[in-house]
Amino acid sequence: MSADRSEGARHRLAGHLADTGALEPGWRPAFEAVPRHLFLPPVYWEFTDRTAVERDRAADPEGWLAGAYRDTPAITQWDDGDQGAGMRDFTSSLSMPTMVASMLRDLDVQDGHLVHEIGTGPGYNAALLAHRLGPDRVVSVEIDKTVADTARANLTAAGLDGVRVVTGDGAEPTTDEASGRADRLIATCSSLVTDIPTAWLGATRPGGILVAPVATLFGGGAMTRLNVDRDGDGRTAAGHFTGPSDFMRMRQQRYQAPPVDAYLPGEWPGDATASVTGLDPEAIGDSWLAQLAIGTRLPDVYYRRAPYQETVTWWFFDTTVTSWATVDSVPGADEYQVRQSGPRRLWDEIHTTWNTWQHAGAPGYQRFGLTLTRAGRRTVWLDHPDNHWSPPAG
């Protein structure tokens, strides 16, 4: 495939997205018109089958362009641009087109709307918004100066250089006279459920909509669609989760876990008490939804998974560095060895939350919701806002 044949690839991608139900008819012209490959660098990594596959335009121009129009994410930056870091974590990307289309569907834009985007990345999502609404109706905030500069260049190459790309902290989006309060706000980076920025309410008009991915330290992630109340000058936003999501964390919210020695300074197993459990932690690891349900109820707990031969030891920690637990998962076992230390019985808390979720019918994403207030309270609920699933944060 050559660059001058990308029009056909755009139409095929849009057709695929329409077939999946992710792409609404009103967005199809934008997906067919905006060349996705213009927002990719000469070398990117196509994330497919949980593997990052390098696509090098100089070495394989056909493969490079073909990957641009598959329904896969494309990694465009590793380790915040640190070339010597060894490609450990990807830190900027073009999201999977299905996810992009689904988020834009949730955003429910109308002609004349002003949209604030948090996390410009290479600029493709901003370009789609600009094609639909006009470049002067899109303001995008990107924390990484190099990424922001690249996005501006990409938007210019796509003929959409009227988009305003601001280099700054997306947790505090601009609301100056040049932009004003948005009708819609969309984030393309995830925030912790306990830390979704309250400033986003102040940046959005009463009656507006926020679409943003959220996650927990424990794992799991969901897309939220929050309706900003029309009364009270937009002091509250609430809405259901719309489905799973897996986005890069906002840079300000990356968690640096202490070393295990901070929890267990002496020899293993220290003062831990032993017991057994019938719940295999691998069952939790296999369910993104279960991790979200546990993580929203226990927002200060996280885990590490340590395979050794046939056994996988699951370590659980609290962020206050007071308690830890381990569970050894052995294939085919009926019971699993548990050790717990500290004032909290972390595995007991996790197991109880698992049981609560199971007894509620293992509710899916759409039964959960989130309420955010400008006073700083963030509450996850089940089915309706009065039925709190998590303790209010903030």
Q: Please check the confidence at residue 139 and state whether its pLDDT lies above 60.
A: yes
Are the CB atoms for 198 and 376 separated by under 8 Å?
yes
Helix (H), strand (E) at residue 80 = none
Give the integer Cα–Cα distance in Å for 200 and 214: 14
Residue 372: strand, helix, or coil: strand
Q: CA dist 367 to 224, 225, 299, 381, Å?
A: 12, 13, 19, 8
Give the integer Cα–Cα distance in Å for 363 and 220: 14
| Torsion angles phi and psi, residue 166, rounded to 5 | -105, 130
Output the DSSP codes for 184-241.
Answer: EEEESSBEEGGG--THHHHTEEEEEEEEEEEE-TTS-EEEEEEEEPSSTTT-EEEEEE
- pLDDT at 317 (0 to 100): 98
Helix (H), strand (E) at residue 368 = strand 368-373
- pLDDT at 234 (0 to 100): 64
- pLDDT at 2 (0 to 100): 44
Q: How many CB atoms lie within 10 A of CB 120?
A: 31
Three-class SS of 275-327: EEECCCHHHHHCCHHHHHHHHHHCCCEEEEEEEECCEEEEEEEECCCCCEEEE
- pLDDT at 174 (0 to 100): 62
pLDDT in tens, 160-185: 999 999 999 998 876 555 667 999 99
Domains along the chain with CATH numbers:
3-189 (3.40.50.150), 260-359 (3.30.160.690)
Are the CB atoms for 385 and 211 separated by under 8 Å?
no
Q: Which of 55, 35, 74 is nearest to 156 (CA)?
A: 35
In one letter, which amino acid is 357?
A: W
Q: Give 42's pLDDT tier (boundaries 50, 70, 90).
A: very high
Helix (H), strand (E) at residue 376 = none
Q: Please check the confidence at residue 191 and state whether its pLDDT lies above 90.
A: yes
Burial class (CB in 10 A: 0-12, 13-18, 19+), 93: buried
Give the integer Cα–Cα distance in Å for 247 and 233: 30
Are the CB atoms for 338 and 316 separated by under 8 Å?
no
**Bridge pairing between strands 204-215 and 182-187:** parallel
Question: CA dihedral defined by 361, 365, 368, 369, rounded to 10 degrees?
Answer: -170
| Torsion angles phi and psi, residue 10, rounded to 5 | -65, -40
- pLDDT at 1 (0 to 100): 43
Query: Average model confidence (pLDDT) for the chain?
Result: 93
Helix (H), strand (E) at residue 22 = none
Q: Please check the confidence at residue 186 and state whether its pLDDT lies above 80.
A: yes
Structure tokens at 50: 């949980």
Are the CB atoms for 264 and 324 separated by under 8 Å?
yes
Q: Which residue has the tokens 């395979």?
A: 307
Q: Which of 49, 42, 56, 104 is nearest to 72 (CA)?
A: 49
Give the integer Cα–Cα distance in Å for 237 and 193: 14
- pLDDT at 176 (0 to 100): 57
pLDDT in tens, 320-353: 999 999 999 999 999 999 999 999 999 999 999 9
In one letter, which amino acid is 141?
A: V
Q: Mark whether 93 is an active-site residue.
A: no
Catalytically annotated residue among 95, 191, 323, 390: 95
Structure tokens at 361: 């019918």
Helix (H), strand (E) at residue 358 = helix 346-359
pLDDT in tens, 80-122: 888 777 778 888 999 999 999 999 999 999 999 999 999 999 9
Instruction: Tell how far CA 315 is from the center of its chain.
Output: 24
